[in-house]
Structure 1
Amino acid sequence: MECDMNLDGALDREEFVKFISRMTKDTFMTVSQGLIIALAAAPTVALLTKRSTENVPGVGKVVEKIPNSVYASLVTLVVIALQQGSEKA
Structure 2
Amino acid sequence: MDISNTQEFDIDMNGLLDREEFAEFIRKLTAESLCAISLKLIITLVAAPALALATKRATEGVPGVGKVVHKVPNAIYAAAITMAAVLIQRSAEGVE
| TM bucket normalised to smaller | over 0.9
Give aligned pairs, total: 89
Structure 1 residue 71 and structure 2 residue 77: aligned?
A: yes
TM-score by length of 1: 0.94
Match of 2:81, SS?
Answer: helix
Gaps of 5+ in 1: none
Counterpart of 2:44 in structure 1 is 38
TM-score by length of 2: 0.88
CA displacement at 1:87 relative to structure 2: 1.6
Whole-Å Cα distance in 1 between the matches of residues 93 and 21 of structure 2? 29
Counterpart of 2:30 in structure 1 is 24
Structure 1 residue 50 and structure 2 residue 56: aligned?
A: yes
CA displacement at 1:88 relative to structure 2: 2.2
Whole-Å Cα distance in 2 between the matches of residues 88 and 27 of structure 1? 17
- Give % identity: 48
Q: Which of the numbers 1, 6, 15 marks the counterpart of 1:9?
A: 15
Gaps of 5+ in 2: 1-6
CA displacement at 1:16 relative to structure 2: 0.7
Whole-Å Cα distance in 1 between the matches of residues 61 and 94 of structure 2? 37
